[in-house]
Structure 1
Amino acid sequence: MLPFTICPVGDTAVLARFEQRIAPDIGASVTALNLRVAAAKIHGVVETVPAFASLLVFYDPLQTDYDAVASAVQALAQTSDGGALAGQGRLVEIPVCYGGSFGPDLPFVAKHAGLSEQEVIARHAGREYRIYMLGFLPGFPYLGGLDERLFTPRLDTPRTVIPAGSVGIGGEQTGVYPIASPGGWQLIGRTPLTLFDPGTGKLPYAAGDRIRFCPISEAEFEAIAQKEARG
């Protein structure tokens, strides 16, 4: 695990801060520390929030204090887990219908990259993406690992409504909108999966996991959508 520093955040949280850069090794270290904190069941800790290069650990000040939690988190950096908590995360496959009405910005992304639309799809679906953090919307995954040829500027004027399940590119990142929302990313496809359930708050992935997008046809999209609607 890479080194980190510890500092207080108010009177109810500890921040483990790694080198401030977005990179796979930093993301893996954040994930590994998050897993270790969860496994350690530190007295008084109530929640963790992983981000690109840090882990925020909330605690109940009526049960513990900053010094105790900070010491426990720092000690976990030296813990040997035999590779069990290496920070790789689960691999989650998400079906995506690219282009057409599901991905209206695919032609622009292809033109900007100097590629055909099929080449954009192949490059986008041809690798795994690490979920560095969740934010902006409930369950919105900020993904690292986008092919540099696909880096595309955000829209000059954001859309007021983006359908749930839309997959987009914003600058050097790609992600998927779990619920309908305004947004300015270039939309290249959509998944028929229901990613976020407001009733339960459940998601099929978490920060630290990996996502692979799997191309599907419109017919497959409709079949999966109907199955999702039936529950």
Structure 2
Amino acid sequence: MKTRYTYGGDEHVYVEMDEEMSLDAFFKSLSMSEAVKAANIPGVREICPANASFQVRFDPDVTAPDDMMEQIKQLESQAEKAEKRLTTRIIEVPVYYQDPWTHETLMRFRERHQDPSGSDLDYAARINGYDNAEAFIEAHHSQPWFVSMVGFVSGLPFLYQLVERDKQLQVPKYLRPRTDTPKQTVGYGGCFSCIYSVRGAGGYQMFGITPMTIYDPRQETSYLKDFMVFFRPGDIVKWKPIDRAEYDRILKEVEAGTWAPRIAEVEFDLDAFNADMDGTNAKLMEALNDA
């Protein structure tokens, strides 16, 4: 893994851990972001972590760009020695797969899709070697996912599947983006799943929808009173398939302020995960079942 440092104009330094996403790259990026924060370098205004990189915004009148770059580089060895372990949350997220709203939307935009003859799930199942959409759905929700980044639009989480590399689901984005995506759509692009936090344009394949509000700028949702964005990097997600009746029930409870997601506090150790992925995932999901 070779780190790449570049400038973004006069006020940004961009640090890329790797060209492809991996949990090793994520943890190094997280450690370096924390190291930059702890270093209190004069002029640093903002630190923005991403999937396998981060960006530092700074005031060049306080610290010159070359000096800022050098001070950040000096923190890399410290980040490499940091423990790849964190205390985090595992969250159960209900998903109504093959719902009528995303299906209606995807049918409106078939001319922008790789395979206009079927649904997004049909296409995803076929290119990943599954016999049908139901088998693909099973693969999507059977193992937990790791939130590696929150952003692009406010509150949108990018989720990376906690399985061996050769078992990763891979689905390309639409050939041309849609101009419409329902709020809280569960989507997929590349190796990332996501939840669209707001209604709007999008290019990810659409698999279903969750009744769980994940972004509330008014902070009226019962479990978003403290902060308008639900997810944070390092969270772990377990999708829970639900039907229309359960979707309607949860949605009403969310709107009434009487529903909250199931959450358990867990320890995630990257070395332990790499040594025994199935065992680690089983312990994570057991913690959620005990919550």
TM-score of the two chains, using structure 2 as the length reference: 0.65
Which residue pairs with 1:109 in the alignment?
124
Which residue pairs with 1:131 in the alignment?
147
Asked if residue 230 in structure 1 is aligned to residue 229 in structure 2, the reply is: no
- Alpha-carbon deviation of 1:99? 1.7
Single out whichever of 60-69 and 91-100 deviates more from structure 2: 60-69
Structure 1 162/100 Cα, relative in aligned 2: closer, same or farther at 3 Å? same
Once superposed, what is the RMSD of the aligned Cα atoms? Answer: 3.3
Q: What is the SS of the residue equivalent to 1:55?
A: strand
* Matches of 1:210 and 1:56, distance apart in 2: 23
Q: Percent identity?
A: 29
* Matches of 1:125 and 1:21, distance apart in 2: 23
Which residue pairs with 2:240 in the alignment?
214
Q: Which structure carries more strand by proportion?
A: 1
Structure 1 7/154 Cα, relative in aligned 2: closer, same or farther at 3 Å? closer
* Matches of 1:108 and 1:80, distance apart in 2: 40
User: Which residue identity is paired with 1:114?
Assistant: Y
Structure 1 132/14 Cα, relative in aligned 2: closer, same or farther at 3 Å? same
Asked if residue 29 in structure 1 is aligned to residue 28 in structure 2, the reply is: yes
Q: Quick check: 1:102–1:166 contact (8 Å CA) kept in 2?
A: no
Structure 1 127/67 Cα, relative in aligned 2: closer, same or farther at 3 Å? same
Runs of 5+ unmatched residues, structure 2: 104-119, 220-226, 258-291
- Alpha-carbon deviation of 1:90? 4.6
Structure 1 80/198 Cα, relative in aligned 2: closer, same or farther at 3 Å? closer
Which residue pairs with 1:75 in the alignment?
74
Single out whichever of 86-95 and 12-21 deviates more from structure 2: 86-95
Which residue pairs with 2:195 in the alignment?
176
Q: What is the SS of the residue equivalent to 1:160?
A: coil
* Matches of 2:2 and 2:229, distance apart in 1: 30
Please list the CA deviations of residues 173-228 of structure 1 after superposition, one character each: whole Å capped at 9, or x if unmatched: 32221110122322111111111223467322234444332223323322221222
Single out whichever of 111-120 and 212-221 deviates more from structure 2: 111-120
Q: Quick check: 2:91–2:238 contact (8 Å CA) kept in 1?
A: yes
User: Which residue identity is paired with 1:229?
Assistant: E
Structure 1 145/88 Cα, relative in aligned 2: closer, same or farther at 3 Å? farther
Which residue pairs with 2:10 in the alignment?
11
Please list the CA deviations of residues 23-79 of structure 1 after superposition, one character each: whole Å capped at 9, or x if unmatched: 222122112222333344433322112234321111233443335533442333233
Q: Quick check: 2:179–2:200 contact (8 Å CA) kept in 1?
A: yes
Q: Which structure carries more helix by proportion?
A: 2
**What number of residue pairs does the alignment pair up?**
230
Single out whichever of 18-27 and 111-120 deviates more from structure 2: 111-120
* Matches of 1:181 and 1:194, distance apart in 2: 16
Structure 1 4/102 Cα, relative in aligned 2: closer, same or farther at 3 Å? same
Q: Quick check: 1:146–1:173 contact (8 Å CA) kept in 2?
A: no
TM-score of the two chains, using structure 1 as the length reference: 0.79
Q: Quick check: 1:28–1:87 contact (8 Å CA) kept in 2?
A: no
Q: What is the SS of the residue equivalent to 1:139?
A: coil
Q: Quick check: 2:35–2:79 contact (8 Å CA) kept in 1?
A: no
